[in-house]
Amino acid sequence: MGRHWAVRGALVGTLLAAVTCILPAFADVTTERPGSIVFYPKVIVSGTRDTLIQLTNTSNSLVHAHCFYVNAQLEFPDQPPSRDNQPIWQEVDFDIWLTKQQPTHWIASSGRRPAPLAAECTETNSQCSDAGLFPGRIPPLADGFVGELKCIEADSSGAPISGNHLNGEGTLISTGLFTKGDTSKYSALAVIGLDTNDANNTLCLGGGVTTQCPRGAEYNACPQVTVFDSFSVGSNDPALGDNSSVSTELTIMPCTEDFEHQVPGSVVVQFLVTNEFEETFSASTTVTCWGNFNVSALRGVFDYNTTGSRFLQSRMAPATNNDSGFVGVVEEYHRLNGGPGGHAAFNLHTIGQRTVADVITLPEGP
């Protein structure tokens, strides 16, 4: 895969120069700085894939975080999504304590066990997922989980604070018979907290003063536009030749969520897809709770036969101000001669910031 990415980087670089010029403006959701809220858009536990979660306290003091898994598995997993087959939006929460400069990690399917059992992790069993300092018990996820994880920095009472001490990474690990060992990593998305944070259960991401957000923004905003480059559906991998294929999977996670009343966020995502000849195609899709889909599902605007182009650049944005903002991650799957292939995840580029607040409502009480 190393040779392939060198070729792909050069070709996509040419595409960027030919298709459009993107001004160097950035949203305040970052993969490079620690924040007070950390989003992991794609967490999977299945018979063929698992997820390694890494979370780090970058400060020289003890840090507490309250975390939420959201299971977006369809009510009827064997059937396609529809009005009668929506995500179950089942939430599981837990607490983490990290000492100064402490990194921690866990496998989503096994979580972290109580500290005494972690003694089983020895030099001869370095693969143990309980290795390292014990951050607190983390529940395991059952097979079939698909969804997200978010961790929110809090004080010792559990009240949200703007400490900006957390960052992390997610690694999707293939466990199937023919793909075991294939990994695909992305950076978790950190949201910077502001000094206007009033430490209540309503977290205001960007925006001005509203009824829900009487002090205005408490955290930086979610992006207004996200951008990613991809191969068109039906094109091959130029590094692997004519008998190769590339598929692109997009994961979208709404920024607005109401954990108090168990109401998921929803967004109509508008796509503008530009080919190498600066021709633009459009499509839209609705994501409620969490969305994970192959781009081939979007009315053919990613098809080679439609666009006439091997490489595409896509700009995504909420259709209206009434929609939630969103973040996400892209994952490509490269195959040769129809055999087992390799995954590669990458983060979306972000441009600008929303002027309308996205709100995360936490449960009341301890």
Q: Convert the pLDDT of each residue in 246-286 to its tens digit.
A: 999 999 999 999 999 989 999 999 999 999 999 999 999 99
DSSP letters of 63-110? Answer: EEEEEEEEE--BSSTTS--BTTB-B--EEEEEEEEE-TT-EEEEETTT
Predicted confidence band of residue 190 (pLDDT cuts 50, 70, 90): very high
Is the model's pLDDT at 9 over the cut of 50? no
Phi, psi of 265 (to 5 degrees): -80, 160
On the question of pLDDT at 312 being above 90, the answer is: yes
Give the model's pLDDT for residue 52.
Answer: 96
Contact 134, 115 (CB under 8 A): yes
Domain extents in the chain? 2-118+128-361
Q: What is the distance between the terminal CA atoms of the chain, rounded to a whole angstrom?
A: 48
Please name the amino acid found at residue 349. Answer: H
- Which residue from 195, 165, 101, 98 is spatially nearest to 138, judged by alpha carbons? 98
Q: In whole angstroms, give the CA distance from residue 305 to residue 311.
A: 12
- Tokens encoding 225: 């536009």
Confidence of residue 172 (pLDDT cuts 50, 70, 90): very high
Q: Which range among 122-131, 142-151, 288-297, 337-346 shows the weakest confidence by mean pLDDT? A: 122-131
Cβ(36)–Cβ(198) under 8 Å?
Answer: no
Q: Residue 187: what are its φ and ψ, rounded to 5°? A: -90, 135
pLDDT confidence of residue 127: 59
Helix, strand, coil fractions of the chain, as percent rounded to 5? 10, 45, 45
Q: What is the DSSP letter of 33?
A: S
pLDDT in tens, 89-113: 899 999 999 999 999 999 999 999 8
pTM (two decimals): 0.88
